[in-house]
Amino acid sequence: MLNQTQPLVTLQNAGLNRGGRWLVRGIDLSVRRGEVVTLIGPNGAGKSTTAKIALGLETPDEGSARRTTGLKIGYVPQQLSIDWTLPLTVRRFMSLTERVSNTDIREALDDVGIAHLADAEIRYLSGGEFQRALLARAITRRPDLLVLDEPVQGVDFGGEIALYDLISEIRSTLGCGILMISHDLHVVMAGTDSVVCLNGHICCQGHPHTVAKSPEYRELFGGRAATALAVYEHAHDHTHLPDGSVRHADGSLTEHCHPEDGHHHEHDEEHPALPDENTHA
Amino acid sequence: MLDDFFVRALIAGVGVAVVAGPLGCFIVWRRLAYFGDTLSHSALLGVALALLFDTNITVAVFGVSAAVALSLMLLQRSATLSSDSLLGLLAHSSLALGLVVLAFMSWVRVDLMGFLFGDILAVSNTDIAMIYAGGLIVIVTLVLIWRSLFAATVNLDLAAAEGLNPTRANIIFMLLMALVIAIAMKIVGVLLITALLIIPAATARRFARGPEQMAILAAVIGATAVIVGLFGSLEWDTPSGPSIVVAALALFLLSLLSVIGLLTRRPAPQWDKRS
């Protein structure tokens, strides 16, 4: 078994140079078991590049990237297109890189809310459904380290919250470390242990509170983004699951969210309160 | 009554088709049709070299195809030319080079048509042994690297990140292609090998629900094409290699008809509607 406190992956002063240009440089970060580290930053900041260095897909030209031996990785890449010539059902896709039992497949698909699509062909899935299938595939491997490159792209807002909840749940049930790239500042800032704000280099990093207050972060994302954390922290006490039912903070499930059942707080009918600043990251 | 040579042709042809089917699926999935063409065209250079140095033709063809495949992999990495230009350059220059070298060797009498279009009716027992031994190697290896190769076909980064070795699988796949071309050349000839790889796989795609199913179907469809094509060539006295390809094409067209029939008869499955 892997050591509990030792980092699963460590980047030290890592940099990647392509065609004489540094895509990223001076990256220091580590992910431990049970820890969620989120990379944020504008387009071209090197978020995916940093993730690829951490995964070992790119060898740093400077500095080092170390992974513990025998590390089992689950990866959700940012871009994955399935050629239409490939006959591939969701079920077969689940055991793409290793054989997985039917029970595990059903469980994982159930977790992400697409159990009914097990025998559907991948190419007929919508963007959001495909993203859920990708996440299910990565978690069904029971990895030590989960690397998620924009795991909720194309997922509707209610589903997004449910998936982020699932991701933090996975962290505790599997006890894995999670390295995540995300654009949803308001969610990231609340569900993350450590935020690394990238812009070719690390512009700031640390606990979400610290990062949100730092001048570098405000400069990069604009003053309005700083309120993203505050917006989220009005604390949702329930989430809307994909099938329309509602999960409350105490874990109970109901068909709807009734204001009188004591589970409710102020927000509009259908969706968890949309932050009035939908961040422009 | 069937003649001996005809039975040998059937056995050899079915053997090649069964191996070509699954490999052809990867060529279809990875859009490597032109790559397959390039490798098979370069096989003629292998023939020329084998005659020049008086070595075994199958071994020489495998060597040249493998060398071309691996150098293509390297060239694509340091690409200064687009892949399709690079492939076109290699395919036709190696074919031309092969023809020129053959022409220079006035002392050997070569049945050029036999190499270009195959001469399945002339297969010997040794050829059959070569086909089945080589075919067995290809199938066993393919089964061993199947998961890595398939995962790498879906997404290279994903396969690599999750601990498979996609680069090794890709290199082995190239070598298997070279081996299949070396053993299939006698059956359909260098100009038509790609057809035997691609057409059965394309036909299988219309019925398959999963990759493994598609590979097996492609093998069955390829074997059927060989049998139908050979009996056709016997019946109408047509050249055997091209007849096999025509039979494969006929099966493909039939599959189009049956798919149209299925669509009009049965309502589309539920998930079709949402796309």
**Minimal CA separation from B274 to chain A, in Å:** 7
Same domain, yes or no: A66 and A91: no
Side chain identity at residue A51, one-letter code? A
So what's the pLDDT on residue A275? 41
Instruction: Report the distance separating Cα A16 and Cα A67, nearest Å.
Output: 17
By the CB < 8 Å criterion, does A117 face chain B? yes
* B262: pLDDT strictly greater than 80: no
Q: Tell whether A59 and A180 lie within a shared domain.
A: yes
pLDDT score for A187: 67
List all residues 6 or more positions away from B148 whose beta carbon is below 8 Å from its beta carbon.
Answer: B159, B164, B165, B166, B168, B169
Across the interface, which of B29, B151, B158 has its CB nearest the CB of A85?
A: B29
Mean pLDDT value across residues B18-24: 94
| A128, A17: one domain | no
Token representation of residue B216: 């097996």
- Of residues A11, A115, A25, A100, the one with CA closest to residue A56: A11
pLDDT at residue A281 greater than cutoff 50: no
Q: Inform me whether the pLDDT recorded for A147 exceeds 80.
A: yes
Whether A272 has a pLDDT exceeding 60, the answer reads no
| A179 and A277 inside one domain | yes
pLDDT at residue B56, rounded to an integer: 86
pLDDT greater at residue A234 or residue B265: B265
Residues A241 and A200 in one domain: yes
Q: For residue A62, with 0-12 CB atoms within 10 Å meaning exposed, 13-18 middle and 19 or more buried, which class applies?
A: middle
Say yes or no: A29 and A82 in one domain: no
β-strand pairing of A246-248 with A253-254? antiparallel
A15: left (phi over 0), alpha (psi -120 to 50) or beta: beta
Same domain, A54 and A130: no
Q: Do A89 and A63 fall into the same domain?
A: no
Distance of alpha carbon B6 from alpha carbon A88, whole angstroms: 39
Q: Domain for residue A186, yes or no?
A: yes
Chain B touched by A147 (CB under 8 Å): yes
Neighbours of B124 (CB within 10 A): 12
Residue A168, domain member (yes or no) = no
Domain co-membership, A179 together with A273: yes
Q: Domain containing A103: what range?
A: 75-142
Beta carbons of A267 and A276 less than 8 angstroms apart: no
| CB of B146 less than 8 A from some CB of A | no
R_g (Cα) of chain A, nearest Å: 19
Spell out which residues of chain A touch residue B157, defining contact as CB-CB under 8 Å: 52, 55, 57, 75, 77
Residue B268 confidence (pLDDT) above 60: no
Are the Cβ atoms of B155 and A77 closer than 8 angstroms?
Answer: yes
ipTM for the predicted complex comes to: 0.80
Question: Does residue A189 form part of some domain?
Answer: yes
Residues 207-266, chain B, touching A (beta carbon < 8 A): 208-211, 213-214
Whether residue A260 has pLDDT greater than 50? no
pLDDT in tens, B177-223: 999 998 888 788 888 888 899 999 999 998 998 999 999 999 999 99
Is A254 a member of any domain?
A: yes
Measured between CB atoms, which of A77, A92, A121 is closest to B158?
A77
Same domain, residue pair A49 and A79? no
> Of the spans A123-137, A204-218, B77-91, which averages the highest pLDDT?
A123-137
Range of lowest pLDDT (A57-71, A145-159, A177-191, A265-279): A265-279
Distance (Å) from the alpha carbon of A155 to chain B's nearest alpha carbon: 16
Residue contact A82–B275, C-beta within 8 A: no
Nearest to B209 among A52, A74, A87 (CB): A87
* Tokens 């036999």 sit on residue: B114
Over the stretch A21-31, which tens digit does the pLDDT of each residue have?
A: 888 888 899 99
Flag if A97 and B158 touch (Cβ within 8 Å).
yes
Instruction: Decide: helix, strand or coil at residue B261.
Output: helix
The 10s digit of each residue's pLDDT in B28-70 is 998 888 888 888 888 888 988 888 888 888 889 999 999 988 8
* Whether residues A206 and A254 fall in one domain: yes
Answer yes or no: do B154 and A89 touch at CB < 8 A.
no
Substitution target from A96, A140, A147 for chain B, most B beta carbons within 10 A: A96
- Average pLDDT, integer, range A150-170: 83
Shared domain for A256 and A127, answered yes or no, is no
B275 touches A at CB < 8 Å? yes
Percent above pLDDT 70 for chain A: 76
pLDDT on residue A232: 40
Pull the structure tokens for residue B28.
Answer: 């279809």
Coil vs helix vs strand at A147: strand
Residue where a domain terminates, one of A142, A166, A190: A142
Residue A84 lies in a domain: yes
Q: Smallest CA–CA separation between A145 and chain B, in Å?
A: 10
Examine residue A156 and state whether it is found in any structural domain, yes or no: no
Domain boundaries, chain B: 4-190
Written as six digits, the tokens of B208 are 């398959």
Please check whether residue A16 lies inside any domain of the structure.
yes
B213 to chain A nearest CA, in Å? 9
Whether A73 and B163 lie within 8 Å, measured CB to CB: yes
Q: List Cβ neighbours of B85 (8 Å cut-off, separation of 6 or more).
A: none
State which fold the B4-190 domain adopts: ABC transporter involved in vitamin B12 uptake, BtuC (1.10.3470)
CATH number at residue A251: 3.40.50.300
Q: Report the number of distinct structural domains present in chain A.
A: 2
B26 touches chain A (CB under 8 A): no
Residues A132-163: b if buried by 16+ CB within 10 A, e if exposed: bbbbbbbbbbbbbbbbbbbbbbebeebbbbbb
Which of B77, B154, B197 to probe by mutation at the A interface, max A CB count within 10 Å? B154
Q: Which tens digits make up the pLDDT trace of A101-132?
A: 989 899 889 888 888 998 999 888 888 889 88
- B163–A72 C-beta distance less than 8 A: yes
A48 vs chain B: nearest CA distance in angstroms? 12
Mean pLDDT along residues B221-232: 95
Of A85, A89, A120, Cβ closest to residue B205: A85
Closest CB to A97: pick one of B28, B159, B213: B159
Whether A262 is in a domain gets the answer yes
